[in-house]
A and B are shown apart, each in its own frame.
Chain A
Amino acid sequence: AQTVTQSQPEMSVQEAETVTLSCTYDTSESDYYLFWYKQPPSRQMILVIRQEAYKQQNATENRFSVNFQKAAKSFSLKISDSQLGDAAMYFCASFLIQGAQKLVFGQGTRLTINP
């Protein structure tokens, strides 16, 4: 089975500070992708960052970076220099390269940015 767990229903951070959102996943497959998606109040899902499981180097996109720990099946998202526009629901998701062709999402973390 393919599962994704986000244990933090809500997080808050002061503007300009750094916050880390946690995600753990479980799969018996060796080839997969992991994603963080952002869903602002307008509700359109936006891709934030992607990590290929075969890559040891952590992915980075501007202020967003991940800490991918394959053995621990952990995939956290770090947001640096938080901005008001970062306020949203954040979803962690996995995708198997072979087998079930679908994204499996976690329950989400609501991130609030305090000015």
Chain B
Amino acid sequence: DTGVSQDPRHKITKRGQNVTFRCDPISEHNRLYWYRQTLGQGPEFLTYFQNEAQLEKSRLLSDRFSAERPKGSFSTLEIQRTEQGDSAMYLCASSSQTGSEQFFGPGTRLTVL
């Protein structure tokens, strides 16, 4: 399978804990995006990378959120001191240089108790 993969698929954590998600993009894609989707809503942009450079961050990405893509391949999204409001599906997508056609992974569903 050469699509976008995400790990884990589900994460349940207690409020205040830190969590980290991983995304592996399609191998030849140099752009990687993170989105957040709450129940019944469309995805909202969080951040994106071109190779290893983080080029844009949404105001939704508070100081508790950090994303990295150290070697321009996979990316991690860490949430520190999780809050109940962080419960959502976190989607990763990748695209080629033009960025117009994004391919999505299956998402990581986070539940904060």
Contacts and interface: CB of A to CB of B under 8 A. Distances in A.
B40 A108 contact: yes
Interface of A: 4, 33, 37, 42-47, 50, 91, 93, 95, 97, 100-108
Contact of A101 (B35, B48, B105): B48
Given A45-B43, A91-B42, A101-B56, 9 more contacts: A33-B100, A42-B106, A44-B106, A50-B101, A102-B45, A103-B33, A103-B35, A107-B42, A108-B42
A108 B102 CA distance: 18
A45 B94 CA distance: 12
Nearest to A100: B56
A93 B107 CA distance: 18
B3 to A, nearest CB: 9
A108 to B, nearest CB: 5
Contact of B100 (A44, A50, A108): A50
A107 B101 contact: no
B110 interface: no
Contacts of A4: 42
Contacts of B35: 103
B41 interface: yes
A44 B42 contact: no
A11 B62 CA distance: 36
Contact of A47 (B40, B43, B99, B101): B101
Interface string B69-95: 000000000000000000001010100
12 contacts: A43-B89, A45-B93, A46-B104, A47-B103, A50-B100, A50-B101, A91-B42, A101-B56, A102-B56, A102-B58, A105-B44, A108-B42
